[in-house]
Amino acid sequence: MIDLKQKRILVTGGRGFLGKHLVRLLTEWRGVPAANISAPSFEEADFRKMEDCLRTTKEADVVIHLAAKVGGIGANREKPGEFFYDNLMMGAQLMEAARLNNVEKFVAIGTVCAYPKFCPVPFKEEDIWNGYPEETNAPYGLAKKMMLVQSQAYRDQYSFNSIFLLPVNMYGPGDNFDPRVSHVIPALIRKVSEAKKNHSPEVVVWGTGIATREFLYVEDGAKGIILAAEKYEKSDPINLGSAFEISIKDLVELICKLMNYEGKITWDTTKPDGQPRRKLDTSKATKEFDFTSTTDFLAGLQKTIDWYEEHSQA
């Protein structure tokens, strides 16, 4: 087990949605001195550049790699080349730089998008190579998945201590609500909020509503990453999820109910659903580093809505 209080920690993407929660929990929950945590902005470190990767990992004992180019289905369809290249280069170069600088541990954050499009539910880690990912986010999913290959290859050849985590989509206060790049929960909250504000008689939602998703409250996700950083020492992939599955239709109806929006929900079936179902088997994370999601979905969703309503009026 690694005592993080004694380590210098580089958190890439530490100024982002998940990163802010993780940095805060490192100090508040685990007692890591703030002075021991480095969370450079994109302006301070562009991890697509090897020189920035080498410079930022030089003084680190532990690297937690959260930085990613992310977005919903629309953004992935619009810029598949960028999503592939940027994520591939960041992951490959950071891990290599960390190895060259003798970093003690590298925590790579993958994505549920790395799983095959048609995967037995719940997704088990051993199924990760049994098919091609869902087409709309395959470039992103495969780019992140290469860190798993790299992690296992580096452990075999260099005895480099790296791990690879597979989280589902996270949500919570401070999420990215920009409609161009946001994931489904923040995108729907914003859409319903604007329909309510504009007295619109309907909200239009992509797809059929049949697809299902699993969501992880961001604080739970950050705690899972920290526990893995402390306790997990293998290169076998590990799922991080909540074990709670909901259809997009039920999700939209729940958000409308919580936000007191009584207009009609119209489905734009010319737009894709994405992967048919997503739900992870999370038993390995519980067994290996005692992680279990504790936030009730309804409570987490309400906190996210409250945060958005407060900050959208600020």
Q: What is the pLDDT of residues 238-287, one digit of tens each?
A: 999 998 999 999 999 999 999 999 999 999 999 888 888 899 999 999 99
Closest CA to 124 of 211, 236, 246: 236
Question: How does the average pLDDT of the chain come out, rounded?
Answer: 95
Lowest pLDDT segment from 13-27, 67-81, 99-113? 67-81
- DSSP, residue by residue, 180-204: TT--HHHHHHHHHHHHHHTT-SEEE
Provide the angle, in degrees to the nearest 10, between the axes of the packed helices 80-100 and 50-57: 40
Lowest pLDDT segment from 85-94, 181-190, 193-202? 181-190
Lowest pLDDT segment from 72-86, 129-143, 277-291? 72-86
Strands of the sheet with 162-167, listed across from one edge: 37-38, 9-12, 62-65, 105-109, 162-167, 238-240
Tell me what the mean pLDDT of segment 182-204 comes to.
93
Q: What is the pLDDT of residues 45-60, one digit of tens each?
A: 999 999 999 999 999 9
pLDDT at 281: 97
Give the span between the Cα atoms of 10 and 105, in whole angstroms: 11
> Are the C-beta atoms of residues 246 and 297 closer than 8 Å to each other?
yes
In the residue annotation, 154 being an active-site residue is answered as no
pLDDT at 179: 77
pLDDT at 6: 94
pLDDT at 75: 76
pLDDT for residue 101 is more than 70: yes
Give residue 314's pLDDT band: very low, low, confident or very high (50, 70, 90).
Answer: low
Tell me what the mean pLDDT of segment 171-196 comes to.
91
Give residue 136's pLDDT band: very low, low, confident or very high (50, 70, 90).
Answer: confident
Give residue 74's pLDDT band: very low, low, confident or very high (50, 70, 90).
Answer: confident
Q: Which residue has the tokens 């880690």?
A: 125
Domain 4-172+214-245+277-295: give its CATH architecture. Answer: 3-Layer(aba) Sandwich (3.40)
Which pair of tokens denotes residue 239?
Answer: 């799922």
pLDDT at 273: 86
Give the span between the Cα atoms of 170 and 127, in whole angstroms: 22
> Are the C-beta atoms of residues 276 and 118 closer than 8 Å to each other?
yes
Closest CA to 233 of 173, 305, 289, 303: 289
pLDDT at 70: 80
Q: What is the pLDDT of residues 105-120, one digit of tens each?
A: 999 999 999 999 999 9
Give residue 37's pLDDT band: very low, low, confident or very high (50, 70, 90).
Answer: very high
Listed in sequence order, the residues at least 6 apart from 78 whose beta carbon sits closer than 8 Å to its beta carbon are none
Tell me what the mean pLDDT of segment 26-44 comes to.
97
Q: Which residues of 35-60 are buried (b: 16+ CB within 10 A; e: fewer)?
A: ebbbbbeeeebbbbeeebbbebbeeb
Q: What is the pLDDT of residues 150-160, one digit of tens each?
A: 999 999 999 99
Q: What is the pLDDT of residues 280-300, one digit of tens each?
A: 999 999 999 999 999 999 999
Tell me how far the alpha carbon of residue 50 is from its chain's centroid. 23
Q: Which of 115, 132, 140, 308 is catalytic?
A: 140
pLDDT at 71: 75
